Amino acid sequence: MDEGLNPDRPPGRRPDWRSRRSLATLGLLGALAGTLLGLTGLNDRFNARRQAEPPERVLYLPRGDSLKFMCLGYDGIAADLIWIRSVMYVGRRMRDRDRKYEWLEKLYRVTTDLDPHWREPYRVGAILLSALPQDDERAMNLLRRGLERNPADWQMAYQAAKLNMLRGRNREALKWLNLISRTMPGHTPVVEATATRLRLEHHDYPEALRGAAMSLRSGPGEIMRAVDVSNYREALARLLATDLSEWSRRYRDSTGHPAANLGELLQTRFGRAGGGGRAASVREHLYMRLARLTGPEVAVELARALPADPYGMEFRLRVDGEVSSQGMDRLELFRLIQSLNVHLGNFARIRGRPAGSLDELQGYFLDLYRTNQLTPGMAGLLGRPPRLPAHPSGDPAGWSKVPLVDGLLKMPPGPTVEEMRSAPLAMPSGSGGDAAGAARAPARAGAASR
């Protein structure tokens, strides 16, 4: 009788077949690790007879689908080892100050082929590929491959959007953000807030306002609500200023002279009101436009408040017939003053005295330009050749009204930034509700003119 099945054999001397299987498994894993280490050149570190510049053995690393046959089902462990090799590869190149990372993409490709649902190599790999060899195309290809294998991972798509924003490709970034919003549930509100910001930068004010209103209805957290409210105010101010400027041009074209003031412009009737029998006033036209973007209940309050702007100030009809938001102009003036004060501080440090006027600062900018010391950031603000940015109000003498005290610009009298950003304003809240009222918008347009 086989002694392994002999019931009379003492239990303590029975061979443990589980132990033999464990030992066999450990042996296979050891062989796998040794094979992979040899293939990727890790043993060069321990080779006392290696050359001063060892050959790069990543060249001989097999493809991921080929390695799977050698891994005996332990694909995850193999992916870990290749990942460690990629870290060492980057570290060695940085130590040797070698700017060539020609095999980095191959290491990430093999790692992700072995373990396609391990998401970290996609994200980290894209960052390193875009930063070290600055190969955006391969970085984006790595992220696309990761999304094909992990279609619900919104963070990979968001990383693709950030990479495009970093390179100034904002329209491409917006496509990625829209993809996340429409197809990837579970993402954070920062996705919509970022998309709204990009739309504002590209002057797509209607969609920016619609996006900010939808974010406010979704009830974001306290931090994101502050961001959404800021985007909502700016989108509303810029949209209304753009639309009022267009109505001002239509008024001038139809009457032959500009409107006397915004009150007269808002009461003037153009076109037809929702297909009805009477023309609609500019205020009613604006109400109907806002109702589609913010909902009718909010639009009634916004239209009724005109010419008040979203910052507690008013829209202003300029001499040239254009309309601007005084609150938006003041905020932009605040940002410009902060930027110019940095350069005024540099002027005082270099010249040993504060600037006595903005003309002196202009001369300082020109000196930097002539000596090729104008930084890209300064060039973006000032242009080439540099010149002081136009005053946000459009007034040619606007900068003369900004006091220069001890070599620094001071904000003119008026509400503070905090007061403007917290001014009372009708805005969406909660969820749902407004959609049903949208159909009644034309009937309620009269309320907006009262």
List the beta strands (DSSP E) in 109-171: none
Work out whether the CA dihedral 283, 285, 291, 297 comes out positive or negative.
positive
Mean pLDDT of the region 125-145? 85
pLDDT confidence of residue 130? 84
Q: Reply yes or no on whether the pLDDT at 183 is more than 60.
A: yes
pLDDT confidence of residue 378? 82
The class (CATH top level) of 55-187 is mainly alpha
Mean pLDDT of the region 116-141? 85
Q: Which of 5-14, 62-71, 137-146, 250-259 has the lowest mean pLDDT?
A: 5-14
Q: Reply yes or no on whether the pLDDT at 319 is more than 60.
A: yes
Whether residue 389 contacts residue 336, with contact meaning beta carbons closer than 8 Å, is answered with: yes
Mean pLDDT of the region 333-351? 92
DSSP one-letter string for 319-388: TTS-EEEHHHHHHHHHHHHHHHHHHHHHHHHHHSS--SSHHHHHHHHHHHHHTT---HHHHHHHTTTT-P
Q: Reply yes or no on whether the pLDDT at 13 is more than 60.
A: no
Average pLDDT, the chain: 81
Per-residue confidence at 21, pLDDT binned at 50, 70, 90?
Answer: low
Mean pLDDT of the region 256-262? 92
Q: Spell out the domain ranges in the chain.
A: 55-187, 239-323+427-448, 326-421
Helix (H) or strand (E) holding 404: strand 404-405
Whether residue 233 contacts residue 202, with contact meaning beta carbons closer than 8 Å, is answered with: no
pLDDT confidence of residue 67? 67
- Distance (Å, whole) CA 26 – CA 78: 14
Per-residue pLDDT reduced to its tens digit, 196-251: 999 999 999 999 999 999 999 987 677 788 999 999 999 999 999 999 999 999 99
pTM of the model: 0.76
Asked if the peptide bond before residue 428 counts as cis, ω within 30 degrees of 0, the response is no
Q: Which of 190-204, 261-275, 308-322 has the lowest mean pLDDT?
A: 261-275
CA dihedral 144, 148, 151, 155 (to 10 degrees): -20
pLDDT confidence of residue 447? 43
Other residues' Cβ atoms within 10 Å of the Cβ of residue 418: 8
* CA count, 13 A, side-chain hemisphere, 23: 5
Contacts of 261 (CB under 8 A, 6+ apart): 317
Q: Which of 21-25, 146-150, 229-233 has the lowest mean pLDDT?
A: 21-25
Mean pLDDT of the region 312-320? 93
Mean pLDDT of the region 37-57? 47
pLDDT confidence of residue 51? 45
Exposed (0-12), middle (13-18) or buried (19+): which is 61, by Cβ within 10 Å? buried
- Distance (Å, whole) CA 327 – CA 316: 10
pLDDT confidence of residue 63? 64
Q: Reply yes or no on whether the pLDDT at 31 is more than 80.
A: no
Among 62-66, 79-83, 320-324, top mean pLDDT goes to: 320-324
pLDDT confidence of residue 42? 43
